[in-house]
Amino acid sequence: MAFQKPPDGGWGWVIVVVSFFAQFLCYGSPLAVGVLYLEWLDAFGEGKGKTAWVGSLANGIGLLASPVCSICVSSFGARPVAIFSGFMVAGGLMMSSFAPNIYFLYVSYGIVVGLGCGLLYTATVTITCQYFDKRRGLALGLISTGSSVGLFIYAALQRELIELYGLDGCLLIVGALSLNILACGSLMRPLESSSSPQPEKMCVDKVPDQYFVYHGKEKTIEENISILEKGYIDEKCVNNVPDCKQDIILNKNVLSSINVNEKDTYKKKVVEQTNFCKQLAKRKWQLYLTYWKETVVLFKNKVFSALFVAILLFDIGGFPPSLLMEDVARSANISEDDYYMPLISIIGIMTTIGKLILGILADFKWVNTLYLYVTTLLMTGVALFAIPFAKSYLTLAMLSGVLGFLTGNWSIFPYVTTKTVGIEKLTHAYGILMFFAGLGNSLGPPIVGWFYDWTQEYNTAFYFSGFCVLLGGFLLLLAALPCWNACTNQSSKLPPNTYSYKVASNT
């Protein structure tokens, strides 16, 4: 489908506002799941690694299904997908209030809510990139702050609701609030070109008209023959019995000849329909082959290949603090008198600031967004190494703020992806990268929890997390260095919407 030139304004700002609130309502509870994590530990009495699967699935399963989410958005559009995701998120949260055990939460909160979040995230990012070009970094930064503001507010909101109505009542109320996603999704008007070709019709519409005409004629012939035969024979039989028998024999001969012709015509039409179905299946198979060929071409890009490794390692090591920081403070025996604000809330508000500032920086022409993203990865690794040395609320709060700000690099990640592969391949490439991000989100918190169950302390776990993030950052930096690009002379031939760090494919 051909789109109009991005207006960089107009209705695009409405898209930004509704996408902000949609992510706020959708991601508020899953990102602030650390508050619920403590309640589930006490309610079900399971290990930290086993209980951490609930929150990690909720934040990771949607990203794991990003290729499917991308196909849904490409096939049905952002608006229907956003509305459907609202039903999934609200239904999953309400179902979780009736969870009898931790395994039920894996499905209701982890899978159902996670898939709803993945669908909504892909829809909001895709439609925002379609409406903005020059201000894309700012627009993506604004909509991505919705989830961070949701983390900040929902961390305190869920704690208050648990005190007032218990864990079950909290999930019911939060689920009811999520139904407002339906109103946000209804305002996501698609940006389509008036001169764009109409979408292809369904298979039934592609069937030649003569098939349907033939069936109609076939039915009419049979009915008319039966009616004429019956009326003619009845009349003859009443007037003359011998003539009646002779006409019956004659009519049978005529009908047999007609039936032979009809059978031949029917066989011909069946052959035509069979050939049509074979051509349709062949075409669909070619589309699938093209999809996988394009995927192979993407991985021939050194920067893209390093990007998927970096995002996988970053989510394995960088996501656990947002889920487990509250338990880290409780394990450090920090007094509640010194607990001025939930650490998750600090992460949330600083993530909002980080997304805005990093998104604005990405719009400056003199800023290389890839190097900016690599810088955030390296600094995140250093901050993770410092967590085991934090023994007071003040130091944990400072590290939470730093980690929250650096986690704001999510706002420039779609920008980096677009500049690496181009807007035409954004949906395809972003779906692949989000799959690996979801894999990291799903594995990170359980791994940290298992380290704690094994060692009864978080130090080893966060050393491992910091090493993963630093490794991913260094690999991406090496892939982006100009010395690794042997085809630097081709940089002038690159499309105008890419940076010089894009590595040309061999195709």
**Average pLDDT over every residue of 451-476:** 87
How much is the mean pLDDT over the chain? 76
| pLDDT over 60 at 389, yes or no | yes
End position of a domain, from candidates 193, 209, 243: 193
Other CB atoms within a 10 A radius of the CB of residue 484 amount to 14
Model confidence at 198, pLDDT cuts 50, 70, 90, reads: very low
Q: Give me the pLDDT at residue 77, please.
A: 86
What's this model's pTM, rounded to 2 decimal places? 0.63
- 266 or 122, which is more confident? 122
Q: Give me the pLDDT at residue 436, please.
A: 81
Q: Give me the pLDDT at residue 209, please.
A: 45
| pLDDT over 80 at 256, yes or no | no
In contact, 128 and 427? CB cutoff 8 Å: no
| CA pair distance 42, 111, nearest whole angstrom | 22
- 107 or 497, which is more confident? 107
Least confident of 256-265, 352-361, 398-407: 256-265
Looking at the domain assignment, is residue 73 inside a domain?
Answer: yes
**Average pLDDT over every residue of 470-475:** 90
Looking at the domain assignment, is residue 237 inside a domain?
Answer: no
| pLDDT over 50 at 328, yes or no | yes
In contact, 66 and 122? CB cutoff 8 Å: yes
| pLDDT over 90 at 365, yes or no | no
In contact, 139 and 191? CB cutoff 8 Å: no
What are 366-371's contacts with CB under 8 Å, separation 24+? 368/499, 368/501, 369/137, 369/412, 369/415, 369/416, 369/419, 369/499, 370/303, 370/416, 370/419, 370/420, 370/476, 370/480, 370/499, 370/501, 371/477, 371/480
Place of tokens 């603090």: 321
| pLDDT over 50 at 503, yes or no | no
In contact, 461 and 320? CB cutoff 8 Å: yes
Looking at the domain assignment, is residue 234 inside a domain?
Answer: no
- 287 or 168, which is more confident? 168
Q: Give me the pLDDT at residue 446, please.
A: 84
Q: Which helix (H) or strand (E) holds 447?
A: helix 426-455
| pLDDT over 60 at 226, yes or no | no
Tens of pLDDT, residue by residue over 5-40, are 777 778 888 999 999 999 999 998 888 888 888 889
Looking at the domain assignment, is residue 239 inside a domain?
Answer: no
Q: Is 197 exposed, middle or buried (0-12, 13-18, 19+ CB in 10 A)?
A: exposed
Least confident of 123-132, 215-224, 280-289: 215-224
Tens of pLDDT, residue by residue over 45-68, are 888 888 888 888 888 887 777 778
Looking at the domain assignment, is residue 202 inside a domain?
Answer: no
**Average pLDDT over every residue of 368-389:** 90
Looking at the domain assignment, is residue 238 inside a domain?
Answer: no
Least confident of 125-129, 188-192, 372-376: 188-192
| CA pair distance 440, 63, nearest whole angstrom | 9
Kindly state whether residues 188 and 315 are assigned to the same domain: no
Q: Give me the pLDDT at residue 501, please.
A: 38
Task: Say how far residue 291 (Cα) sits from the centre of its chain.
Answer: 18
Kindly state whether residues 305 and 189 are assigned to the same domain: no
Looking at the domain assignment, is residue 379 inside a domain?
Answer: yes
CATH of the domain at 331: 1.20.1250.20
- 207 or 454, which is more confident? 454
Kindly state whether residues 32 and 169 are assigned to the same domain: yes
- What burial letters (b/e) apply to 30-57, b meaning 16+ CB within 10 Å? bbbbbbbbebbbebbebebbbbbbbbbb
Looking at the domain assignment, is residue 364 inside a domain?
Answer: yes
Domain around 309? 301-487
Q: What percentage of the chain reaches a pLDDT higher than 70?
A: 75
Q: Give me the pLDDT at residue 504, please.
A: 32
In contact, 190 and 129? CB cutoff 8 Å: no
Handedness of CA 154, 160, 163, 168 (dihedral sign): negative
Structural domain count, the chain: 2
Model confidence at 112, pLDDT cuts 50, 70, 90, reads: very high
| CA pair distance 215, 222, nearest whole angstrom | 11
